[in-house]
Amino acid sequence: MSDIASYNLGRREAKLNEFKVSDVYAVFKTNLLSDSLKRSFFRETYLPALPADKTSGAQDRLWKGFNRTLTIKVPDIKNNPNLYEIAVAYESPEQASEWVNTYVAMVAKKTEEDMQDNVLTEIAAKAQVLERQIDAARITAQKRRADRIVRLREALVVAEAVGFDAPQVVAGKTSSDGDLAEFIDGNLMYMRGAKAVRAELAVLEKRENDDPFIAELRGLENQLDFLKKIDVNPDNVSVFTLDSTAEIPETPIKPKKAIILILGTILGGMLGVFVALIRSMMMKRRIKIA
């Protein structure tokens, strides 16, 4: 978890799912085994390093040869299915070890780029949702202000018609929440008096920005700002654990000199016996003829 901790900085606060080790390593394994990355390595690294006489011929033949040269396998799939072994069989031990290490570095770089794309995509999607919520909140506030203006205008007409210039509040009549709500925002708004209604109406008609009056707006803006500050390419992360770098081998894997010597001795002995039998048969045949 410490290897990928930087990928998760701020994700919980931004209400994004945190990455697990298996999530990141799955991306690495996909790249490790992908044909597209192998072909990139084949074109950009493998072919340019070959002698000119080995690069002539059909590309599909060279590609098949490359897949025999570079192999990827799981040595112990039962007990350790996440441990991969990369090997290169080539006549130059220095070149073989360099290719293995280069390929691993290439896979790691591609995985880091993919993780960056994944983070960017998630942040962009989340940011889009927040921006739409902010836009919707502003539109709703504008509509509510417009509705409020309509109600105030009607209340002003009524207040002026009945001659209520000052608030008509009678003790005990607005004691309940329902009565108070009717007095402020409902059908009894005209009882606030023409003077108060006219003043609020003038303020609302001159208002150019509803943001300070949107309760949830600052919270949404804070989430959006925090989201945009998340580091999409953090340092000190590792998308895989390297068990061992490829070192320059001192002993060739082929030809197997010991096996060749043993086989040569066996075949030589068999050939000697066979020749001796032939000579013996020929000598017996000459004796019979004589």
Give the residue extent of every domain in the chain.
2-131+231-251, 255-290
Q: What is the DSSP letter of 88?
A: E
- How big is the CA angle at 38 (ends 32 and 39), to the nearest 5 degrees? 155
CATH for 2-131+231-251?
3.30.1890.10
DSSP assignment of 173-202, as one string?
A: SS-SHHHHHHHHTSTTGGGG-HHHHHHHHH
CB atoms near residue 213 (< 10 Å): 11
What rounded mean pLDDT belongs to the chain? 84
**Distances in Å between the alpha carbon of 52 and those of 46, 67, 289, 290?**
12, 19, 63, 65
- CA dist 115 and 173 (Å) reads 64
Tens of pLDDT along 51-110? 887 877 788 889 999 999 999 999 888 899 999 999 998 888 889 899 999 999 999 999
Per-residue model confidence (pLDDT) at position 13: 84
- CA dist 199 and 93 (Å) reads 89
Question: In terms of Cα–Cα distance, which of 141, 128, 119, 92 is closest to 224?
Answer: 128
